Amino acid sequence: MLIDVKPLYSEIKNSIMDRMSKLKKVPKLVAVTYKPDPSTISYLKSQEKAAKRFGLDYEIFEASNSSEVLEKLRNLSEDKSVNGIFVTHPLPELDEMLVFENLSPEKDIEGRHPYNLGMLMYGNEFFAPCTAEAVVKILENVTEITGKNVVIIGRSTTVGKPLATMLLRRDRSATVTVCHTKTKNLAEITRNADIIVAAAGKAGLVTKEMVNADSIVIDVGINVVDGKIVGDVKEEVSEIAKVTPVPGGVGRITTALLMEHVVKSAEKMNF
């Protein structure tokens, strides 16, 4: 069975629209990129469409050299007309920490800045990483998380690690196992899970044999196979478990939450 995230998406969208109607100005999101590859360009195009759909002001800045990236990030961080800054990553020639040194955590709508991730460890974050937050929202919408065995496949700083932290928070209290490329007997571990979150970026990694009937499977993966976008979870898994679709699952909610973060920043800036 596929999990329909459309009602959750509409709920987030309606809340954004309602909050935006109370602002005096239209919130603004700026994306900063440098030497973007084709997939980054295509992602930015879809982000621009989403921003328009939500009624936000949107701009893409393409730097012509790496020091221009840092200068732009400093300027945007100070700019009172800008509420959110999105930085495409990885950026060629630029160390990620250097990028963060020049980006205000208050406009880091992706929740990737070390300050925001540090606050997340204390359960006191203003911006959580959008994809991890999307997974939590979907789970909270379909099940009770407390006490559940959650297996996360993938330990990245953008998805796996922050998600584990969010699910461990006392008001959620899941029992979390994080798996990665060196994990032995992955199938044995996933078979014991109530909830599996696949965030490895490997098409078809999760098969029917790895999943318990009636478990919930959240597919974060985005892979291109034969020109088609597919997740990390094989289609057959939805015959026995509840699975989020790709596309139109986690990605849809992640985008909505990114826009919600821009509005949240605008509210804080008394827009």
Supply φ then ψ for residue 48, to 5 degrees.
Answer: -60, -45
C-alpha to C-alpha distance for 42 and 62, rounded to whole angstroms: 14
Q: Please, what is the minimum distance in Å from the beta carbon of residue 239 to ligand NAD?
A: 22
Supply φ then ψ for residue 251, to 5 degrees.
Answer: -60, -40
Contact status: 205 vs ligand NAD (CB under 6 A): yes
Choose, by CB under 6 A, the member of 179, 211, 259, 263 that binds ligand NAD. Answer: 179
Contact status: 202 vs ligand NAD (CB under 6 A): yes
**Footprint of ligand NAD on residues 111-150 (CB under 6 A)?**
131
Choose, by CB under 6 A, the member of 113, 155, 172, 264 that binds ligand NAD. Answer: 155
Q: Please, what is the minimum distance in Å from the beta carbon of residue 269 to ligand NAD?
A: 26
If the CB atoms of residues 70 and 154 are measured against ligand NAD, the closer one turns out to be 154
Q: Please, what is the minimum distance in Å from the beta carbon of residue 47 to ligand NAD?
A: 11
Contact status: 190 vs ligand NAD (CB under 6 A): no
Contact status: 105 vs ligand NAD (CB under 6 A): no
Choose, by CB under 6 A, the member of 67, 180, 207, 214 that binds ligand NAD. Answer: 180
Strands 149-153 and 195-198: parallel
Contact status: 159 vs ligand NAD (CB under 6 A): yes
29 in Cβ contact with 84 (< 8 Å): yes
Choose, by CB under 6 A, the member of 221, 230, 241, 262 that binds ligand NAD. Answer: 221
Contact status: 181 vs ligand NAD (CB under 6 A): yes
Q: Please, what is the minimum distance in Å from the beta carbon of residue 209 to ligand NAD?
A: 15
Q: Please, what is the minimum distance in Å from the beta carbon of residue 86 to ligand NAD?
A: 13
What residues have CB less than 8 Å from 185, skipping those under 6 apart? none
Contact status: 204 vs ligand NAD (CB under 6 A): no
**Closest C-alpha to 251, from 6, 1, 75, 2:** 6
Choose, by CB under 6 A, the member of 197, 222, 233, 256 that binds ligand NAD. Answer: 222
Q: Please, what is the minimum distance in Å from the beta carbon of residue 115 to ligand NAD?
A: 20
Contact status: 233 vs ligand NAD (CB under 6 A): no
Name 87's bridge partners: 32
What residues have CB less than 8 Å from 43, skipping those under 6 apart? 88
If the CB atoms of residues 150 and 250 are measured against ligand NAD, the closer one turns out to be 250
Residues binding ligand NAD (CB under 6 A): 131, 153-156, 158-160, 179-181, 183, 186, 199-202, 205, 220-223, 250-251, 254
